[in-house]
Structures are given as structure tokens and as C-alpha cells.
């Protein structure tokens, strides 16, 4: 039970020997999460040399203390990717982070997004009617991706050319977050393509005025950021803005196909759509975990953690913690789990969650008005170091009006 940390200090902490990044563990992580939560609030992951935080209370506390638990040099489990993230907003801390987030963050506030609602709802109805007319379709490729691609690239304001690669490049960046396994190695080799694309956006000044990306050009033009920082900021928003929402939406359809009683509740009362989407993100948390670097000697739940160590903030495990949630293994759209950590929490809490919710709720609402049942078979999950997602979700729908 006693384990020396990377920095040589000895902490009394339970040890878990399993690799959390095998294909098997990625496809079904929940037994590992339960075992980790049962072991304690802090568990040393022998294979990955990191302190895991599998329980909700410590995840919230660490996310709320960004002075001690820093993203800089610590979000990814491998140093090569941490080094590549060095200039990013996502992996910056303190005043620098506040400044960088403020350059673009105002485009994503609820007030700023309000005028988009009508367009998003129209796009959702069009996407849903198109797949219903097809009869059988892939909820990932034909519905969730089409919807997100109809909204987000225009919102960011990027040109048509190159859009088709964004989701694959983002998936590669997500894979880079793992330990340096084969998946991360392969992804590191292609992660530069997103950077090349972002560099072209800046050089060619192609983002459209009024879009999110143009705020980055404006900040560069008036000297608030340099060119390298501008490229990095483009990547900060391009990477998480698409596949995360595609995943949330696909998981929603998968869950409703398996829990038709819950779909009936939503169809009967479409005002449940917002809480239902929250429950989807709690139950099938798309971003499983991120790391943090410990800035000074500290303690978590009485366990001494030395400066320089890394902790793994396990959003997906925290969202299933029996200590926090009643019957966490039950998918319940009436639960309204507003305090879930599926969008993170604190200084680095998801900057784009308002947009993600707007898109997902619009699609669920359009589906609730038209679809009685989802029949899913032959689905294939994605094997990714960070995301819990589907590659494909073959779906048939039964149409009908509300019960
Ligand atoms: C269902 C969809 C989404 C999920 C589940 C999700 C999840 C997350 C999580 C867990 C974090 C926290 C990272 C941390 O603590 O280190 C995060 C941060 C972030 N997200 Fe999202 N996200 C989603 C959609 C989006 C969208 C649509 C955008 C952009 C339009 C976006 C932009 C960002 C950015 C920029 C950050 C970094 C914030 C910072 O470091 O200050 N996300 N997201």
C-alpha cells in the first residue's frame, strides 16, 4: 500500500496495477472506476505513475483549486503532448489563463449565443427530418456529425476548405492525452495537421469577420497576442468544439434506445430535454479524464501529494460515484444532475458548454416531436485515450406523435 511517488516521497496510498488504457479498459471502464473508488479517494496508478482521483468530492475540490493543481505541464499523461500544449489557453494557468480565455470567451456566453437559437433549431429539424426520411441511418455520421458541422464551423467562422478533416484531427489530439501508448504515438504523428491548418487560418486571415476565430485575429492585430499564441488559440477551440458534442448526442440516442421508458418521459414532457442531456453527460461522460500538475506539496483527503506529482481527475468515475449520487448506475432523466463534472468545473470548466447544450437540446427536441422509438444494433465504440464515443451507431426509428 506504500508507494514512492515520481518525486521520491513516500505516500501511504492504495495502488492499482491495471492499465486503464488497454482497448478492453477503454471500451468498458466502469468496473475499473468502481474498483478505484472502492480502494480510496486517492489511488496510485502504478502503470501510469499518477495519483488517480476516482471519487466526486476530490475531483470537485481539485478542479476548484487551480492554484495548487495546474494544467500547465500536466493535462496529458505524456510529456511530449504536454510540451506541445505549452502555449495553449487550455494548459495555461492563473492570470495568463484568465487573459487568454477572456479573448474569445465572450462569444460563448448564454447572452451571446441567444441570437443563434433559431438557426440551431432549424438546423436540428432539418437534420432530424433528413434521417427520418432515410429510415435507417448512422446516428454518429448522418445525424450528430451533420448537425454539429452545420453549426459550429460557421460559428467559428472558418472557410469551407479543410472542414472535412477537423473531426479526425480532433480525435488524434484527444488520443494524445493518454500515456505514451501506441495510440498516443500514432496520434502525435498526425496532431501537427491541426496546427498546420490553424497556422494557415492565421497566415491567410481566412476566418470570417464576426466569427469566434476572427476575435483571435483581432487580438493579434492589436498586439494582445503574438502569431504563435494566435495559432494556439485557434487550436484551443477547434479541437474540443465538434466531436465532444457529436459524442454527447450519439450517447443520448444510444441510451434512449436502451431505455425507452426514459424516452417516453422526454416525449411526454419536452421541457425535460435539458435535464435529460445533463443526465446523458453524467451517465456516459464523453471526456473521461484530464491530468493536473501539483504546484506545491499538498494533501488530498489526508494523502500527502508532493509538488511536481501529477493527479488524474476522473470526470467519468466521479459522475458514477455512489457517495455523490443515488443509484448512479441508473439512467434517470428526471434526476437533473446539475452538479455533474462532465463539463469539468472551476477555472477550466468547459468554455463551450452553452453551445453544446444548445445543439444537443435542439436535436433531442426535434426527435421528441417525431420519434417514438430508437432501434440501435451493430454499434461500434471508438477506442480513444480520452473520449468515450462511438464510431458508428446504426439506427432505425419508429415515427409517431407524442403518447
Ligand atoms: C458535450 C460536449 C462537450 C463536453 C462533454 C466538453 C467537456 C469539457 C471538459 C470536461 C472540459 C474541462 C477541461 C479541464 O478541466 O481541463 C472542457 C474544456 C473546454 N471546452 Fe468543452 N466540452 C464540450 C463541448 C465544447 C464545445 C462545443 C466547445 C467550443 C465551442 C468547447 C470548448 C472547450 C474549451 C475551449 C475548454 C478549455 C477551457 C479552459 O481551459 O479554460 N467544449 N470541455
Its sign, for the CA torsion 356, 357, 359, 363, is positive
* Helix or strand (DSSP H, E) at 45: strand 43-45
CATH of the domain at 358: 1.10.630.10
- Position 5 scores a pLDDT of 46
* Average pLDDT rounded to a whole number, residues 375-392: 97
Distance between Cα 216 and ligand 1 center (Å): 18
Backbone angles phi, psi at 79, to 5 degrees: -70, -30
Whose Cα sits closest to atom 1 in ligand 1? 245
Distance between Cα 349 and ligand 1 center (Å): 7
C-alpha cell recorded at residue 12: 501511504
- Residue 47's domain comprises 2-399
pLDDT band at 9 (very low <50, low <70, confident <90, very high): very low
Distance between Cα 13 and ligand 1 center (Å): 31
Distance of CA 203 to the CA centre of its chain: 29
Question: Does 365 have pLDDT greater than 60?
Answer: yes
Q: Which of 60, 232, 240, 342 to mutate to test the pocket of ligand 1 (most atoms within 8 A of CB)?
A: 240
Name the burial class of residue 273, with classes exposed (0-12), middle (13-18) and buried (19+) by CB atoms within 10 angstroms of its CB: buried
**How far is it, in rounded angstroms, from Cα 139 to Cα 134?**
12
% residues pLDDT > 90 (the chain) = 94
Instruction: Tell me 208's DSSP state.
Output: P
- Position 12 scores a pLDDT of 81
Contact (CB, 8 A) for 82 and 76: yes
Domain count across the chain: 1
Mean pLDDT is lowest, of 8-12, 228-232, 340-344, for: 8-12
Question: Does 401 have pLDDT greater than 80?
Answer: no
Q: How high does pLDDT run on average in the chain?
A: 95
- Position 349 scores a pLDDT of 98
Question: Does 4 have pLDDT greater than 60?
Answer: no
Q: How many C-beta atoms lie closer than 10 Å to residue 151's C-beta?
A: 23
Distance between Cα 345 and ligand 1 center (Å): 10
Q: How many C-beta atoms lie closer than 10 Å to residue 10's C-beta?
A: 11
- Position 241 scores a pLDDT of 96
- Which atom of ligand 1 lies closest to the CA of 97? 41
* Average pLDDT rounded to a whole number, residues 133-160: 96
* Average pLDDT rounded to a whole number, residues 200-219: 96
**How far is it, in rounded angstroms, from Cα 318 to Cα 329?**
12
User: Which residues line the pocket of ligand 1, CB cutoff 6 A?
Assistant: 71, 75, 89-90, 101, 236-237, 240-241, 244-245, 248, 281, 286-287, 290, 315, 342-344, 348, 350-353, 355-356
Q: Which of 155, 177, 346, 352 to mutate to test the pocket of ligand 1 (most atoms within 8 A of CB)?
A: 352
Amino acid at each position: 500500500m506504500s508507494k514512492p511517488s515520481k518525486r521520491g516521497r513516500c505516500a501511504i496510498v492504495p495502488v492499482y496495477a491495471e492499465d486503464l488504457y488497454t482497448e478492453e479498459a477503454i471500451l468498458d471502464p466502469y468496473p475499473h472506476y468502481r474498483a478505484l473508488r472502492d480502494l480510496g479517494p486517492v489511488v496510485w496508478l502504478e502503470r501510469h505513475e499518477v495519483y488517480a482521483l476516482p471519487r466526486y468530492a476530490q475531483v470537485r475540490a481539485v478542479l476548484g483549486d487551480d492554484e495548487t493543481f495546474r494544467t500547465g505541464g500536466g493535462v496529458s499523461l505524456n510529456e511530449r503532448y504536454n510540451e506541445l500544449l505549452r502555449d495553449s489557453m487550455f494548459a495555461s494557468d492563473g492570470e495568463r489563463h484568465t487573459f487568454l480565455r477572456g479573448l474569445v470567451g465572450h462569444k460563448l456566453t448564454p447572452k451571446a449565443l441567444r441570437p443563434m437559437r433559431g438557426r440551431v433549431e432549424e438546423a436540428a429539424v432539418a437534420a432530424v427530418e433528413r434521417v427520418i426520411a432515410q429510415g435507417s441511418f448512422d446516428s454518429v455520421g448522418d445525424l450528430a456529425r451533420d448537425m454539429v458541422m452545420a453549426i459550429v464551423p460557421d460559428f467559428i467562422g472558418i472557410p469551407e476548405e479543410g472542414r472535412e478533416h477537423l473531426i479526425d484531427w480532433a480525435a488524434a489530439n484527444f488520443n494524445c492525452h493518454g500515456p505514451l501508448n501506441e495510440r498516443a504515438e500514432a496520434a502525435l504523428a498526425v496532431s501537427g495537421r491541426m496546427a498546420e491548418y490553424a497556422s494557415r487560418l492565421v497566415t491567410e486571415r481566412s476566418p470570417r469577420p464576426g466569427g469566434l476565430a476572427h476575435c483571435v485575429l483581432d487580438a493579434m492585430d492589436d498586439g494582445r497576442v503574438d502569431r504563435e499564441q494566435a495559432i494556439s488559440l485557434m487550436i484551443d477551440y477547434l479541437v474540443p468544439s465538434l466531436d465532444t458534442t457529436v459524442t454527447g448526442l450519439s450517447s443520448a440516442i444510444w441510451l434512449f434506445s436502451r431505455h425507452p421508458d426514459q424516452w417516453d418521459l422526454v416525449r411526454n414532457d419536452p421541457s425535460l430535454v435539458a435535464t435529460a442531456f445533463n443526465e446523458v453527460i453524467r451517465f456516459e461522460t464523453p471526456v473521461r479524464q484530464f491530468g493536473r500538475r501539483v504546484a506545491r506539496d499538498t494533501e488530498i483527503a489526508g494523502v500527502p501529494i508532493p509538488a511536481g506529482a501529477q493527479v488524474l481527475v476522473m470526470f467519468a468515475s466521479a459522475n458514477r460515484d455512489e457517495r455523490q449520487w443515488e443509484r448512479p448506475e441508473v439512467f434517470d432523466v428526471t434526476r437533473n444532475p446539475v452538479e455533474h463534472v462532465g463539463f469539468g468545473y472551476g477555472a477550466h470548466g468547459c468554455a463551450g458548454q452553452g453551445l453544446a447544450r444548445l445543439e444537443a437540446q435542439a436535436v433531442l427536441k426535434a426527435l421528441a416531436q417525431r420519434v417514438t422509438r430508437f432501434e440501435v444494433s451493430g454499434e461500434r465504440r471508438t477506442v480513444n485515450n480520452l473520449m468515450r464515443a462511438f464510431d458508428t451507431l446504426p439506427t432505425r426509428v419508429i415515427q409517431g406523435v407524442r403518447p
